[in-house]
Amino acid sequence: MRVIVIGAGEVGTAIAEALYRNNDVVVLERDHARYELLQSLDILVIEGNGSSPKSLLEADVDKANLLIACTNVDEINIVACATSKQLNPNLTTIVRVQDPDYLTNWQEGYLGVDVMVCSELITAKFIAMNLSMPEAKYVNEFAGGKILMTEVKVRRGSQLDNVTITDSRPPSGCNVTSIIRNGQIIIPSGEDVLTSGDLVVSIGKPKAVAEFNRRMTDNTSFQSVAIIGGGRIGFRLARILESKGMAPYLIEADEERSRWLSERLKNTLVLHHDGTDVNFLKQEKIDSVDVVVNVTGTEEKNLLSALLLKRMGVKRVFCRVNQPSHSQAFEMVGVDVAISPRKLIAEEIIRFTRDSGTEAVSMLEEDRAEVLELEIPENSKLSHRLLGDKLFPPGTIVGAILRNDQVIMPQGEDVLLPGDHAIVFAEEDKVKTVEALLNP
C-alpha cells in the first residue's frame, strides 16, 4: 500500500514508524529540521506544504492508496484531504483534528473526509475509561465493549501479593495473559508467583476482569474526580463523566474560560483558580478526592500539580504529557498514569491502516507488546484449527474469543472458526508472525 503522511510531528513520526515496514510511506513536512529524525526510517521525505496541490503531486498522490493528514493545524489537515481527494478520487483519507466540533461536522456528513479522528476526544474517552477502572494502569475495550483488556499493578499486601496464578484462582471469564516485571514480559504458567509491583495484563469478560483486578489491588471503586485544566480535553472529560452520572470538579485558571465551561457543564463544579496553589487545593478539599486528572496544556504544570496532590494524599493522579517520550519519566517520579494524546491518536490512526483482519490494537509498555483483535477469515492458516496445536508462536497468547456475540475463554481443545474474533496478546516481534497467520 502507498501511504502519504502529512506532517512529521510526534503523531506523524509514530505513524510512519508503524507503517514503513509493510508499506511505501511518503512523508510531507514543511520543517526541514524534522528530516533528520526520519532518516533512520526507510521512507521518502518531501519538503512541502501538505495543503498545496503541487507538493501533493510531487508525493505522487495520484498513485497513493491512503492519505493521513496529521499536522497540528486542523484546517491544513482538512484542506489537504479535500485537495488530495480532487487529485485522486479513489484515495482513502484519514484526518486528525483537535477541535471536536470538526468531528461533529464530519459525523453529520460534511467535510468530505473518509475517516476523522479527534485527539482531544480520544484522550478524554481514554481517561474516562481508565477512571471507571481506577486500579488499572491501562484499559482497552475490544469487540465493541464485550471484551476488556486491563493492565494492573499488584499492590503490596493485597490478597494476591505473593500468590501463584493457580492459587489466585482468576474468576472464570478472566484470562491472565502476561506479567510485566521490571520491564520484562513474562507469559505466565500456573506456577508463576504474582508479586507486588508486577503489571498483570488480563483479558476477558468485563465483570470477571474487574473482579480479579479488585483482588489484586484491594481497591474499592472511586467516588470523586477533580480535573485540573479546562481545555478541550478537560471539557470533554467532564462531559463524559457527567453523562455517567458523576459531578466532577473542574479547575481552570482563566476566568473567561471558566465561565464558558460553567455555562456548558451542568453538574460540574467549575472553580476559577490556579491548580498548583496548595492552599486553594486544601481549602476546596481537592486533596481528599479519589482521582485527580491534570490536563492543562503545560506539561510542567501538570507534573507539579500531580506530584503535590499525590503527596497530599490523592489516591491516583493522571497526567497529560505532550512529548510521548516523557511518559516513562512521569510515571517514574510518581504519576500513576501519564497520558499522551499524540500517542493515543497515532494508535488510533494505525488501527485504521492495519490489514483488514486486524481491527483494534493496544500498545503496552512503550510498544514492546500489543494486544490485537483478529477476525478469522475463511481458509486462513488459523481457521478450523485446535488452539492446543502450537498454532500461535511462543510469546503470544489468545486471551479471549468472541463467537456469535458470545465470549469464549479459550482452552487447548477449542477450535477457531471463520468469523471468530480472537483477542491476542503478542510481544512486538511476534506481531508480524501473528498477522501472517491470517493469510491462507
Partner 1 sequence: MKRSTVVEVRPALHLIAAIIRWLSLTYLPPLIASFYYRESFWPFLIPMILAVIIGFVGERLTRSPKELGIREGFLVVALAWLSIAAFGALPYIFSNVNLINAYFESMSGFTTTGATILNDIAEQPRSLLLWRQFTQWLGGMGIIVLAVAILPKLSVGGRQLMEAEAPGPQVDKLYPRIYQTARTLWLLYVGLTVVEFAIFKMLGMSFYDSLGHALTNVATGGFSPEPRSIEAFGPAIQWVVIVFMVIAGTNFILLYRVISGRFNRLWQDREFHFYLGLIFIAGLTITLLLPGDSWEENIRHGWFQAITMITGTGYASTDFDQWSSTLKMILLTLMFFGGCAGSTTGSIKIVRFVLVIKFLFRELRKAIHPQAVIPIRLGNQVVPENALGGIIGFTVLYFTTFAFGSILILLDAQRVGLDLSVLEGISVAAATLGNVGPAFGIAGPMASYDAFPETSKLLMIFLMWAGRLELFPVLVLLTRGYWRR
Integer Cα distance of 304 and 316 in angstroms? 14
Cβ at position 309, least distance to partner 1 in Å: 16
**CB-nearer residue toward partner 1: 156 or 259:** 259
Could you tell me which stretch among 12-20, 91-99, 215-223, 257-265 binds partner 1 (CB under 8 A)?
A: 257-265
Q: Interface with partner 1 includes 402 (CB under 8 A)?
A: no
Name the nearest CA neighbour of 94 among 339, 348, 363, 343. Answer: 348
Tell me: does residue 30 bind partner 1 (CB under 8 A): no
Which stretch, 62-70, 268-276, 295-303, 379-387, contacts partner 1 (CB under 8 A)? 268-276
Note whether 271 binds partner 1 by CB under 8 A. yes
Please provide the DSSP assignment of 66-96 as one string.
EEEE--S-HHHHHHHHHHHHHH-TT-EEEEE
258 binds partner 1 (CB under 8 A): yes
The Cα diameter of the chain in Å comes to 65
Instruction: By CB under 8 A, tell whether 247 contacts partner 1.
Output: no
242 contacts partner 1 (rule: CB under 8 A): no
Decide: is 284 part of the binding site for partner 1 (CB under 8 A).
Answer: yes
Distances (CA, A) of 104 to 100, 125, 235, 297: 6, 15, 15, 23
Q: Based on CB atoms, which residue is closest to partner 1, 263 or 405? A: 263
CA atoms within 13 A on the CB side of 162: 2
Side chain identity at 184, as an amino acid letter? Q
In 3-state terms, the chain is what percent helix, strand and coil (to 5)? Answer: 35, 30, 35
Count other C-beta atoms under 10 Å from residue 236's C-beta.
21
Q: Residue 270 interacts with partner 1 (CB under 8 A)?
A: yes
Binding piece for partner 1, criterion CB under 8 A, among 139-147, 263-271, 299-307, 358-366: 263-271
Does the protein bind partner 1 through residue 278 (CB under 8 A)?
Answer: no
Residue selected from 19, 122, 225, 261 as contacting partner 1 according to rule CB under 8 A: 261
Of residues 251 and 431, the one with the C-beta less far from partner 1: 251
Angle at 405 between CA 401 and CA 410, to 5 degrees: 20
SS3 8: coil
Is 222 a binding residue for partner 1 by CB under 8 A? The answer is: no
Q: Out of 35, 222, 280, 352, which residue is the one contacting partner 1 (CB under 8 A)? A: 280
Identify which range of 32-40, 116-124, 206-214, 270-278 contacts partner 1 by CB under 8 A: 270-278
Amino acid type, 220:
T
Per the CB < 8 A criterion, the answer to whether 95 and 81 are in contact is yes
279: how many CB neighbours lie within 10 A of its CB? 8
Binding site for partner 1 (CB under 8 A): 255, 258-259, 261-263, 266, 269-273, 280, 283-284
